[in-house]
Amino acid sequence: MSKHIDDDKILTVRRFLLTLQDNICQALEAQEHAGGIDGASSARFISDVWERPDGGGGRSNVLSDGVVIEKAGVMFSHIHIRNLPPSASERHPQLAGATAQAMGVSLVVHPKNPHVPTSHANVRLFVATPADGGEPIWWFGGGFDLTPFYPVMNDVVHWHTVAHKLCQPFGDDVYPTFKAWCDDYFYLKHRGECRGVGGLFYDDLNTATQGWDFERCFAFMQAVGQGYIDGIIPIFENNKHRPYTADERAFQLYRRGRYVEYNLVYDRGTLFGLQSNGRTESILVSMPPLASWAYRYEPVAGTPEFELTDFYLKPRDWLGLIDKS
């Protein structure tokens, strides 16, 4: 594990995260104000600044009831933890009982139009001090992933092309490694399907695991944060004006149920937040405003709804499909 981190480095990361939150909110608001098939609105992110009793706090930005974006939460937090919860220390048993601070930006965007995918991104930094008073240990984590309901191949390829390009300066093995990690992490075992078409996921990123110093790990965090914006905005532009039917809207709500299942059953971020006595409203803001479940629903073969699970919700070499898209 990597050791030593000073307060100036932590402050630099914090400033970046707050700026990233602002930039993402501005980009998403621009999509809402420009409008889509359902028109335009003046809906904006409402900023909720909060403090945590154990130390630290955050800024929760939420946009609700838009005509392009039904609900979006872009959350910044920088919290102090007296005792690392099991969701964090199970992979690092030497840190059981450690004090820590964690900071990051996490977001989920649920568009109204079924042809615009749900998207998620997260970038974070942990700094833990072992209970025996040893040197602080730091690591980065994060990534982004895409959950379409009516996928468009060009959009999926674009999403992964952005991911590949941002990884290239850091090594040829970074994209395939973190892409595979994303496919494995965002997998609903009880459904036997991926949550979406993937993207990037990484954790425990530091000198010991990747051979990168703090500055290089931080640079990768910055690239991932900007990569989310570069990836999602063209997908909004390509799809938010597409007409949709009541049946397609119903299918979107049905598939959102899978999103709820994943977040409540498997997501480590949700578990960490709840186990660390986090702010419940901020933790569960990722939930969609509407979702539905159906008993033994089976899409008809040959339909777009069938193609979603039959083709798209399986790990694939999306960049290898560029010539076929």
Closest CA to 155 of 315, 305, 312: 312
SS (H, E, C) 104-115: EEEEEEEECCCC
Judge contact between 122 and 164, C-beta under 8 A. Answer: no
Backbone angles phi, psi at 135, to 5 degrees: -60, 145
Residues in the annotated binding site: 106, 110, 120, 122-124, 160, 190
Beta bridge partners of 56: 79
Residues in the annotated binding site for a divalent metal cation: 110, 120, 160, 190
3-state SS, residue 254: helix
Residues in the annotated binding site for substrate: 106, 122-124
Task: Name the residue type at position 290.
Answer: L
Dist. CA 236–CA 13, nearest whole Å? 29
Beta bridge partners of 143: 122, 201
**What positions carry a catalytic annotation?**
120
